[in-house]
Structure 1
Amino acid sequence: MRENPGSQSAQSMAFTDCLTTADLFAEKKGIKSKNWRNRLRFLLKTHSSQSVLHLMKNRSYRPSADDVNQWAQSLDKLLSHKYGKAAFCIFLKSEFCEENIEFWTACEDFRTLTSHKELASKANSIYEEFIKSEAPKEINLDFHTRNAIVQSLHEPTMTSFLEAQKKVYSLMENNSYPRFIHSALYKELCVAAKHIKS
């Protein structure tokens, strides 16, 4: 079955959303092709060029076959690995539901903030992007959870989005994650990881 070029383009943008600028430096320089297969091969291959060394200098960041196998054990293990999360982002983009992982990540960042000013600013930003009606990346929440967030915006705390984050995590865990583990994308990752040289 041929891939839809539009969805392929959407998939290829996932690394921009999931990795930092520094991580992407080598990826942008080293890869001309825009399809997800090449991007994943880039993550997994060993290469000696300076740009790749910049990305790969810490070997623990390169997924091994064991890493990739562990991603199938739980969503938590997948999201705790930098490239596992990036691959999952690509998959969610292909399913047009990347707002879930983006919201979950924003909540993780939000919970690390300590100053009241930062909390208030980030809380409003998350609300505008993911929570309010017709938000650009609106997530699927029940009225009660959404309303509780709106009420907390006056005095946000580190737990303001906790219930919503749990619901989105559960949604990913029960729906998107099993499909990811059975996808062609994950199977390709397993095969590619086995060919990494020690």
Structure 2
Amino acid sequence: VANPWTSDSPEFWELEKQGKDVAARRVKRWAFSLQELLADPVGHDQFSKFLDKEFSGENLKFWEAVQELKCLPQSQVIEKVNEIWSEFLSADASCPINVDSHSHELTKKNMVKPDRWTFDPAAAHVYHLMKTDSYSRYLRSEMYKDYLQGSKKKTSMKGIRSIVSFSGRKDTNS
């Protein structure tokens, strides 16, 4: 059986992310970093549910909207900036986020000449909050512990030897 922890190849992890069964080691990877958690579709979904349960799901929604904004064609940027402002930061926002006054003021100034980076101060603040507060609470939560406990351990690694290469090792099965 191949050991993905000793491989330099990311293919094992990418293949596993696409699988329907969630192995315990995959769930454990979520504890590496918030970025690792959000990169995994199941981890992202679980964290999103946790945030909604804690009434802070708007933080992730805002941060994702800002990331999406950065990838839009220039012709759509101003419209998206206005949508994000209306939804998350305006006085009558439908899904208000809680940012410090400094970040809010910087963002408000950036609205004068909106671009892809208009929300960077607020997005950085929100990401920091999620990383230092929500994420650490999630890792200590029963929700995460239960998911880790119930995650399925893979019993078969059939075909993994062809995916993961181990330089310098000789195959002892030949």
Higher relative contact order (CA 8 A, sep 6+): 2
Mapped to 2, the partners of 1:80 and 1:191 lie a distance apart of 21
Look up the match of 1:164: 122
Question: Where in structure 2 are the equivalents of 1:95-106 lying within 5 Å?
Answer: 95-106=54-65
Contact kept in structure 1, 2:17 and 2:41, CA below 8 Å = no
Which of 60, 74, 81 aligns to 1:123? It is: 81
Look up the match of 2:67: 108
| 1:141 maps onto 2:99 in alignment | yes
**Partner-residue secondary structure (3-state), 2:99:** coil
Bigger shift: 138-147 or 158-167? 138-147
| 1:67 maps onto 2:26 in alignment | yes
Contact kept in structure 1, 2:37 and 2:43, CA below 8 Å = yes
What is the RMSD computed on CA atoms of the aligned residues? 1.7
Contact kept in structure 2, 1:120 and 1:155, CA below 8 Å = no
Deviations 1:162-185 (A, max 9, x none): 111111011011111111111111
Contact kept in structure 1, 2:62 and 2:88, CA below 8 Å = yes
Write 1 or 2 for the structure with the bigger share of helix. Answer: 1
Deviations 1:145-174 (A, max 9, x none): 222222322432221111111110110111
Alignment coverage as a number of residue pairs? 140
The TM-score with structure 2 as length reference comes to: 0.73
Mapped to 1, the partners of 2:151 and 2:37 lie a distance apart of 15
Look up the match of 2:136: 178
Residue 121 of structure 1 aligns with an amino acid whose one-letter code is E
Unaligned residue ranges in structure 1 (runs of 5+) = 1-57
The TM-score with structure 1 as length reference comes to: 0.65
Contact kept in structure 1, 2:59 and 2:126, CA below 8 Å = yes
Q: Kindly, what percent of the aligned residue pairs are identical?
A: 32
Contact kept in structure 2, 1:61 and 1:83, CA below 8 Å = no
Mapped to 2, the partners of 1:192 and 1:100 lie a distance apart of 28
Q: How many angstroms does 1:191 deviate by?
A: 1.9
